[in-house]
Amino acid sequence: MRTHTRGAPTVFFISLLWPLLAPAVAAAEVDPSGGIPFMGGNYNGHPMLYFNRGDVEEMQYAATGTHREMARRIREAGEIMLEHPEEYLPPWSPAEFSARWNEVYGNNLGVLSMFCVLYPHRAGALDLAKDYMERMAAQPSWLVKDAPWDEVPLAHSLVGFATAYDFLYEYLNKGQQERFLQVIGNASRLMYEKSYVRGWGFQYLHNHQPTNCVALLTGSLVYMTQGYLQEAYLWTKQVLSIMEKSMILLQDVTDGSLYEGVAYGTYTTRSLFQYMFLVQRHFAIGHFNHPWLLKHFAFLYRTILPGFQRTVAIADSNYNWFYGPESQLVFLDRYVLRNGSGNWLADLIHQNRVMEGPGQAGKGQRWCTLHTEFIWYDPGLFPKPPSDFGTSQLHYFEDWGVVTYGSALPADTNRTFLSFKSGKLGGRAIFDIVHKNKYKEWIKGWRNFNAGHEHPDQNTFTFVPNGVPFITEALYGPKYTLLNNAVLFGSATSGSCFKPWVGQVTEACDSKWLKYKVGLAADTQGRVEATMERQGMVFIRGEGSSAYSPELKIRNFQRNLLLLHPQLLLLVDHIHLDPDSPTRVMSAFFHNTDLPFQGTKIDGVHGAFVSHGEDKYKMFWMDDTGYSNKGVLGYWNYPRGYPYNGSNYVNVTMPLRYPHTRVAYIFFGPGVDVQSFSLRGDDQRVDIYLATKDHTYTIYLLTGEVTSKPLFAMVLLDHKKIVFEKAAAVVDSPPEEVEEYVNVMEDNLQHVKPVFQQMERHILGRVLNTASFRKTAERLLQFSDKKKTEEVIEKMFAMSKKQGKSKGGKKVNLGEKLSESLPDIFAQIEVNEKKERQRTSKRTYEDSPEEGDTDSRAFMDYTDGRKNRKGAFVKGRKFKEVHMVATAGSEGLSSTASYIRLFLLLNTATFFLLLAVILTRFQRARSLHTQRCFYTILLIDCFILLYLYSSCSHTQC
């Protein structure tokens, strides 16, 4: 029996060492805080948004050393603005300011203010920045005259202006400080009001939402620092109630993608990453271990075409990125990856930037993220490519429904990029949330999402052999099926945009935005059935029949891609019709936004080609009867209002037969010389024969719903066999709803009030015995009950005068005492605001049914977390208590942290005392029962010690 307790001291020694080992174990995981210190409401004036006054000198030093390359770009932007002020300064005239989309003014002000921070002695820089701000402050509105319903331009102006105010506060005179603050307050107040009635307040994961919310958050943080706590509190809570829902919903996006595509994705992350940084710094809300964030690098890395200048342009897009992506990449590296890959890719993209022509950064966006790139860059992370860099990799974005192959490679011979799209409208996460009624406390169907920037593009592809764009997307244009590399069907079906041709059900004939809210469009989806690489060949299969009207009675629309060689792609469309299908013809489109197509014909097989320098990139087509129809070549002009003029296209029209038809297309570059091409088929499969100068290919493609062999395809390359087996088919594994999602959001909202209460204590402590005390108290209570406010102020004023007669050393304590004498000004204003919102939302709904319907009263979040609310308590769980944390530079530790530290010290001493007693006095005790009692006591004390250590670690005591 004694042997069972003889090893107990060892166990206790391990327990003793565990608190020291635990941080090392935890370090292996991603730190939710990203290593960003929490300010805890302890501010020493401006700047405070992204850095403190004490950080400025270090930043100026870094600009000459570790950050000199980024500083050079900032200085270059500043010098250009100084050299041509008339070109970059906002106009004084309100009519001129609001005459067109004006995000450029807010976008450029951020980098100009950072230029002034890094180079304060540059002659004329501060004067230019102040003139810039004066002109913006002179505008009665930052909205665009022709789009008064869109707050996005206002958001760009607000975030730039508030950031500049924070960065340059000490350089502004008293009058400018007050006037500019009033401008920030007015703009933020308008954004706050509109957040209840505009789509960006409740349409989640859409680029407008983080853009506008971060602008409001930035304004509210500046307003908070200036002592306007009640309004800033409401604004902050509203931003967090919106964005924290988005962060939870984003957990369902398992592949790191954004459904609006790469270009608009960078628009979203420009602000989303600022949000993550700001809420961690100011409210200790950590998202840096978010599962979507851990995968997001792939969305930037796996979508770049060879040469690092363009990206896959799915959905509304330019040639690459709207914002950044260098800023986003250094952010990911510093706070998530920690391996140098983000810095490496940012460097490579910058080195290969297009300076003139297609692909160059927009004038209004090119400098917008330079200041955040400088702030977030970690020079300690040596640029290092991912381990698979240099080889073509196949990647499947299972939520987005996109496959890419050969991304992020140098543009060179046989460096080929291939992409394929066939997925659910809005991506799998959004589609399933809508159709499976997930997150029903927040989501009421498609009204909570906005897929307007998507295209009718199921079963579409792109092909870039040798880094040369051969088959491309048609970029930001009308939402027509024929403006994608997709298929239309001939039928007399009603509702088509180009009779008698019928496109996908989401195409919009008379709108700039995709149809997605109701009817057949709301249920549209494609599906990637297979994606695999075998011995250097790539096979992809997609099913797109659900993207077309059921009236067409298309049982299957299967598109198969086989990359046989880096410069040789085979595409086979398999269309299976129901017996009573009204369609007997199909029309396929292929685009190139840069180069015009020219027709060609060899041995009765029609084709087309584009010329790139002296090289020709060719395509040919025929169906399974050997028929090849001449294609129509042309250029589709876009209407006014789109950023691009149009696209070159090839249109191939082929007859359809019941029950099935196969049409094959081959695409090849100058390094492949195709000498023969034929195909034939039966019910089960289609056989394609290809002969080039160097090889012969025999492809057996099994297209039937039930096949004789468990294969998708088999390729005979000369005498080598390559098999694409069905066992490797794509298996869909959608995620479950986030458990207790309402409570998760409410827990994070609880982080706000302690910060504002700390601010309240600091503000009162600073103005004790000063002439501004009464004015400050009135400002703090400006939205409280007027009668009670007067009584409280008189009481506080009397206490302040009493303090003046006592010892000065008690000032801070009295500041806290004064704060405690105040009513809970934040709870009070929340109650008042909730009543007001209930009243106004009913009026909004009655006055404007469409707006009121999309607004919905279900999106109000003025709740106290501790009070009963539908959905607030799940499975008996209580909300997490949030404690304030003192940081370096703060004025004192919270009482909670102090008590925890005291108990931790006492318990540690007790633990060692008990351990010493056991080892010295009771190790040879006659009674085994006595030993066990002491070991039990020591074990209990060990658990208490671990609990206290965990609490102390949490509160940073």
Q: What is the DSSP letter of 478?
A: -
Instruction: Enter the DSSP assignment of 335.
Output: I
Q: Is 395 helix (H, G, I), strand (E, B) or coil?
A: strand
Based on the residue annotation, tell me whether 43 is a catalytic residue of this protein: no
Q: How far is CA 486 from CA 472, 507, 510, in A?
A: 12, 12, 20
Q: What is the CA radius of gyration of the chain?
A: 32
User: What whole-number distance in Å separates Cα of residue 820 and Cα of residue 638?
Assistant: 64
- Out of 43, 192, 264, 335, the active site residue is 264
Enter the tokens of residue 616.
Answer: 């020709």
* Residue 573, SS3 per DSSP: strand
Burial class (CB in 10 A: 0-12, 13-18, 19+), 734: middle
Give the span between the Cα atoms of 124 and 79, in whole angstroms: 10
Q: How far, in Å, CA of 285 to CA of 742, rounded? A: 16
Q: Nearest 5°: phi and psi at 502? A: -115, 125
Q: In what order do the strands lie in the sheet with 487-490?
A: 501-502, 487-490, 585-592, 646-655, 632-637
Element (H, E) at 488: strand 487-490
Is 664 in contact with 571 (CB distance < 8 Å)? yes
Residue pair 636/649 in contact by the 8 Å Cβ criterion: yes
Measured in degrees and rounded to the nearest 5, phi and psi for residue 590 equal: -135, 135
CA angle 257–260–264, rounded 5-degree value? 100
The Cα–Cα gap between 366 and 373 comes to 12
Task: Respond yes or no on whether the N-terminal peptide bond of residue 325 is cis (omega within 30° of 0).
Answer: yes
| 460-464 sheet: strands from edge to edge | 394-397, 402-405, 417-421, 460-464
3-state secondary structure 741-760: HHHHHHHHHCCHHHHHHHHH
306 preceded by cis ω (within 30°)?
A: no
Cβ atoms < 10 Å from Cβ of 585: 16
- How many Cα atoms are found within 13 Å in the side-chain-facing hemisphere of 91? 10
Strand intervals (E) in 339-446: 394-397, 402-405, 417-421
Neighbour tally for 950: CB within 10 Å: 13
Q: How large is the angle between the packed helices 125-137 and 68-83, nearest 10 degrees? A: 70
How many residues in total does the chain contain?
957
| Of residues 182, 252, 245, 183, the one with CA closest to residue 213 | 245
Q: Is 565 among the catalytic positions?
A: no
Cβ contacts of 790 within 8 Å, gap of 6 or more: none
List, in order, residues 6 or more apart from 134 with CB less than 8 Å away.
176
> What is the C-alpha to C-alpha distance for residues 611 and 415, in angstroms, rounded to an integer?
18
Count the Cβ atoms, other than its own, within 10 Å of residue 253: 25
Cα–Cα distances in angstroms (integers) from residue 315 to residues 365, 479, 901, 918, in the given order = 19, 9, 55, 71
The catalytic position among 132, 169, 228, 476 is 476
> In sequence order, which residues have a C-beta less than 8 Å from that of residue 312 and are 6 or more positions away?
261, 262, 303, 305, 402, 404, 417, 419, 462, 473
User: Of 191, 186, 230, whose CA–CA distance to 211 is shortest?
Assistant: 191
**Which of 156, 206, 208, 565 is the catalytic position?**
208
Residue positions annotated with a catalytic role: 208, 264, 476
